[in-house]
Structure 1
């Protein structure tokens, strides 16, 4: 009953409010009732949406999406394996190449970034390594202290002890209870013959050692 009433109401509106739509394209012109144009537009939208939904689900229907995901996972695993082997063998170029460009990394990204940074530094690209470590600190704020220790170690490998000491001093200001930072800072300060800083740290280092023991 409601359908009949609605149909009659709609037909009344169509009869009362007639209008025409003219579409002109170059030498071709199309004229149709405005209501027919609305119906055609709605039909086209329905067909487009339905078709897109059907085809977007086809890969999962045929298992293609899972196969592609498995393929990428296997590729990443192989790349990680080769990269780590290259790292162990000291083939830094290959280690960086294999470990850097992975869409689905097998290792946690925070670990992967540290490997890549160290490989870059060992390959003579300390500036790139520093940028990677800064990226690590931005993406994983909880690892800032570990990242600073890594950077300090890389700087020490290049005998840039003053820079390493500055990095760790800033890290200590942020994380004053980290005994590993203090120990490393004392060791680097010793290489820099910065006796004032060493004397300032020794009581704190002894206190931390006594508590941990």
Structure 2
């Protein structure tokens, strides 16, 4: 029996150890729908001292390298005080390139921003499409020509432009409040296969006003103005 016990002990010492989970790096871009008071820049972890990112409410930022600790959310900090968290964002494990959308958190929250990540790869967010992100508490729907999407609160959906290059379609976005659909914006859009757009619907936590903003992909030289609407529910 002693010899068997010795063999078991020896086997446990020589058995291969499972490697501890390692940190991983992804490419991340940021869009800030509205600035939180006093926080217009953030510190992003990159495995060393981190790097500062100037947030924008008009454009999607250039991609930066982000280091993620295994099993932990992405922790962003104030740019001027690396000890103060600015946001915690869960990054799905299958994302290699993320677009992180930040909105001001309700009063009393631990961090000034709330955020979430969507897949920013060309495969999941292809050219010629609108990515509709609903950050409000109301259902939202959008139609561009015959292309249509309806998104629940906190949801994301794609709207793929239909028709020949240059064809112009009517655009209409609405939100539902107490069973009634209310207009966010109406305009027209041309079919383009060389770009993509983020469309973000957000409800201001202070005023409760619904806002919509369309942001073209920064990767391309787009000069079209943002479409913004403010509607009182």
Same fold (TM over 0.5): no
TM-score under structure 1 normalisation? 0.27
Q: Which has the higher helix share?
A: 1
Bigger strand share = 2
Structure of greater Rg: 1
Instruction: Give the TM-score, by structure 2 length.
Output: 0.26
